Structure 1
Amino acid sequence: MMKVFLLYPDQDFAPSVPLPLNVDDLIQDLSLNILFKAMAQGDKFLFQVTHQVVLSPLDEIALILYRQDILKDCLKHPDVVRQIYQIPLEFLERKSKRWLWGFSRRSAPTSILSGARELLEASLDLLRQLRLIADQNVNTFESQGFHRFFTMIQRELDDEYLALVERHVQQLHFPHGVLLSAQLGKGNEGSGYVLCYPNDAGRNWLQRLFASRSPSYSYTLHPRDEAGARVLGELRDRGLARAANAVAQAAEHIESFFNVLRWELAFYIGCLNLYEQLMALGEPVAFPQPMPANERRFSCAGLYDITLALTLGKPVVGNDISADGKSLIIITGPNRGGKTVFLRSVGVAQLMMQCGMFVPADSFLSNLAIGLFTHFKREEDRKMERGKFEEELGRMSTIVDYLTPNALLLLNESFAATNAREGSEIARQIVSALLEKGIKVYYVTHLYELARSFYGDNVFFLRAERLPDGRRTFRLKEAGPLETSYGVDLYRKIFGAEKQGNMTR
């Protein structure tokens, strides 16, 4: 059996597995469609695959490292990987153009056999191409996944096997007609129909000329005997039934193999597309270090928001953070200082790490999350049937129903739709309960009382940097919250720096 096993070491990827129930929130809050479009480059199938794989995070370190090693091979040998990917695409193109295999297995055996035979014919040269690529690269690729894949191709598609398949396909054209054997059953009806090799199979013309022949009887149908032709066709179908079933199984196996190969390689093709764009922008990438979910680990260097970089088409500011041992990270500071951008960069990097990709950073280390959830503030719109604060509480209630220990929750200005005192108290109680249940929380907030209430050993504080003249660097630094609403910034934005200077004089 030919198995691809490029996403898992022991099973095929199942595209029909349901995605997490909070997938729409993740896509909206983390701007993931920007990432998917960059990976797909206009290809709808690549978009579908990357969407499915990225939003199906792994929770085992060994599986993540398995994919990382395969992706490293892809980055070293992109031309070979793209060449392999073209093989299943060519197979599907041929199938589409020739209308192959477009019928049910309940069709007549003659039709099944004809379609399956043509599908095998269409795949033979592609299988040879795949075998040639395996021979040329089996010792070049270093990952366990690709080495297993290439050695499997060499073993399953050796020269003897391919020659045998080609010979059988030619015989299934029945250039000398169909030879059947049968027995007489009850009521002198035919039974035990078996497809036989032609008597002259394997003989040269001289052997066929002088070979002894057993006596035979023949009957020739009149060209206009439609009833006789129909009966003869039924007899032919009886004899071909077992052969048609066997050939159909072989054809289905080949088609299934090419479909899985296309699916699993599509993810790595998407990664190659993304990598090439980031290199063109001059942005770094790194292969992250996943740590056990029950540990509280997080450190990064140069972590940036990949969706922002792709949108702007230029490098963006990254952050250097070391927050190991912390279950709660609180981010405060002035508006438009990079807080939400950082929160989004954490969420996207976590997803990319847990699907086996590189991440947008110089380095990145984090514990696994058993589920990633987001609770970002929503702009009020006409579709909202409830007030903003009630809507926030409703979404939080839904999230809590699905949270499990060692999950990761990203909160962005949550519970800010009410007054500061009420919002701080509600948020404090919710976050405290989450921490008791083993949930890791990142919280962007301007609620000073909330942030101050969590001073302690298990909390890490970040603040968006603001220079003395009010300019933002869009970097975060380790610092506690300030008891300020940055009213001077608002005044300067509305009235200008000159009036603000006159006011201070």
Structure 2
Amino acid sequence: MKAHLMYKDRDFDLKGELPSNRQALTQDLELSTLFKSMALGDDFLFEVAKKAVLSGLNNLDTILYRQNILKDCLNNPSIIRDIYDITIESIERKKKTYFGFFNRYPSSILHSSIDVLQIFVDILKKLRIIADAHADKFASEGFRLFFTMLKKELGDEYFACVQNHLEELKFRNGVLISAELGEGNKGSNYILRKPQGKTQDKKESWVQRIFAKKQPVFTIFISERDESGARALSELKDKGINLVANALSQSADHILSFFNMLRTELAFYVGCLNLYERLAQIGEPVSFPLPVDAGERRHSFKGLYDVCLALSLEQKIVGNDVNADGKDLVMITGANQGGKSTFLRSIGLAQLMMQCGMFVPAESFSSNICQNLFTHYKREEDTTMNSGKLDEELGRMSDIVDKITPNSMLLFNESFAATNEREGSEIARQIISALLERRVKVFFVTHLYEFAHGFYDKKLKNTLFLRAERQNDGRRTFKLVDGEPLQTSFGEDLYNGIFGTGS
């Protein structure tokens, strides 16, 4: 049995490798805040959220596949949580049946496997009941296939058959084993046989049993104090039931793997439910994005906000409306503390959320899929003095260039400002020009006027210039508007805000 709630044709690999730039993405986009809100203190939910968001998807069909499943989850949150709780119950109850050292023996393996399978049968019945009662409430392809699978595989005949086998394997009337004498008169070819009379629907009466023709048998009685004899008999029994015990153990492991995978895949959607409910409490909107192929240039949205900032402050955040369709470069300039870095972070977060099949923090959002997402943010000074700040920035940039591919996205936040204006502008110009030639989409927050205005003067059709809005009295609206780069970042506003304007 397969869940297939993350991919149509394969399981979700929780142990797969994360991208090499995961640390930079987590730091620059403050992803830990997002993961914590999805996990609500649950370490397993945290790891699944981290894996799903950072792994991303480059396939349009798979993104839409997950979106539709998530829509079903949002429409039926209690049912999803019930199924998730069932998977946890199965795993926890399995742990309580573990016999440790004694599971080295076939008889112990057999008995513990019977106990585990009996637990799993009861839990599978709960899943079947949910499928029967609620399948018609789900519209996504993923859940339709999931519930159809449950109804097909877990029918009444299946449960009756399994229950019958489990009862037989308890060997209440003893164990029937055949064997042969091998080399040196040692026993070989031990085979567990079906007990006589089990093929009959009804038990024989006592009269029939008395007068029935019997096969010749030899009976050996072992004294209660004969420990060696009892041990030998137990070893003979273990040899006979060994294959059955292993088969039953493998069956239990197979069902357990199904529950583990179902728990893992549902954990992503439970995390999304947790996040959705948290944002609803704050009053922030979310929407399902419209992704398009990587080769297109689409990036337009309404009311896009930094979800991590909203979660940290627990209040509504100013959103932005931008139409960057057909643009390869978005240059962002303007006043200090005007919301530029927050806006840049919202771009990265929305892209990651879209490409793992989630909703996004916006009233509406559409973007092309990116093959990879990279960030290049300014860092604090190297306290070990192993390198200068500019050397460190260029080193990180070199690492990114080694890995970046066409149709990727790169977010720059005040990069190359560790040197003088002219040198920093020239470095930035050459790097951005090369990236654009490689069909890399770039968002660049900068205070380098010479660099920004140099691109503005070129009047490139594939470039959009945004500026952090500032009112005449110096107040910031935290809105980004179309605008030519200015030569000042209005640092004087910050000075006056801290020290006052004086007399």
Category of TM-score, reference length = shorter chain: over 0.9
Indicate if the aligned counterparts of 1:59 and 1:370 stay in contact, CA closer than 8 A. yes
Q: State whether residues 382 and 388 of structure 2, in contact with CA within 8 Å, keep that contact through their aligned partners in structure 1.
A: no
CA RMSD of aligned residues (A): 1.6
| CA deviation string 1:286-334 (max 9, x = no partner) | 0001111111110000000000000111101000000111111110001
Structure 1 counterpart of 2:55:
56
Q: Which residue of 2 aligns with 1:483?
A: 487
| Post-superposition CA distance 1:82-125 (Å, at most 9, x none) | 0100111111121223336x5798x3322322222121011111
The aligned counterpart of 1:238 is: 239
Q: Deviations over 1:330-370 (max 9, x none)?
A: 10001110000000000000000000000000000001111
Secondary structure in structure 1 of the residue aligned to 2:455: coil
Tell me the alpha carbon deviations over residues 448-485 of structure 1, each in whole angstroms, 9 at most, x when there is no partner: 11111213211110000000110000010111201224
Answering whether residue 456 of structure 2 is matched by residue 459 of structure 1, we say no
Alignment correspondent of 1:82? 81
What is the percent sequence identity of the aligned residues? 56
Residue equivalent to 2:147 = 150
For 2:218, the equivalent position in structure 1 comes to 217
Mapped contact 1:409–1:439 kept (Cα < 8 A): yes
1:192, CA displacement in angstroms? 2.2
Task: Confirm whether residue 207 of structure 1 aligns to residue 205 of structure 2.
Answer: yes
Deviation, 1:412, is 0.2
Mapping for residues 89-488 of structure 1, pairs under 5 Å: 89-99=88-98, 102=100, 107-201=104-198, 202=200, 204-207=202-205, 209-211=207-209, 212=212, 213-380=214-381, 382-383=383-384, 385-455=386-456, 456-488=460-492
| Equivalent residue, structure 2, for 1:493 | 497
Q: Is the 8 A contact 1:377 1:413 kept in 2?
A: yes
Q: 1:262: Cα distance to partner? A: 0.5
- The residue aligned with 1:46 is 45
* Maintained 8 Å contact 2:304/2:363: yes
Aligned partner letter, 1:295: E
Preserved contact between residue 354 and residue 368 of structure 1 (Cα < 8 Å):
yes
Residue identity opposite 2:317 in structure 1? V
Partners of 2:385 and 2:13 in 1: CA distance: 36
Which secondary structure does the structure 1 equivalent of 2:370 belong to?
A: coil
Summarize deviations over 1:144-175 as a string: whole Å, max 9, x none: 00000000011111111111111211222111
- Point out the more displaced range, 21-30 or 486-495: 486-495
> Does the 8 Å CA contact 1:30/1:344 hold for their aligned counterparts?
yes
TM-score by length of 1: 0.95
Which segment drifts farther, 355-364 or 182-191? 182-191
Offset at residue 385 of structure 1 (A): 2.7
Q: Contact 1:318–1:475 (CA<8 Å) still a contact in 2? A: yes
Report the residue type matching 1:398 in the other structure. Answer: D
**Greater mean alpha carbon deviation, residues 376-385 or residues 168-177:** 376-385
Q: Any conservation in 2 of the 1:200–1:208 contact (CA below 8 Å)?
A: no
In 2, Cα distance between equivalents of 1:124 and 1:379: 57
Partner Cα distance (1:253, 1:301) in 2: 47
Report the count of equivalent residues: 496
Write the distance in 2 (CA, Å) between the matches of 1:487 and 1:382: 27
Render the CA deviation track for 1:404-444: whole Å, top value 9, x for unaligned.
11111000000111111111111111111111111111000
Mark the runs of 5 or more structure 1 residues left unpaired by the alignment. Answer: none
| TM-score, normalised via structure 2 length | 0.95
Query: Could you tell me how far apart the structure 1 residues matched to 2:118 and 2:207 are?
Result: 32
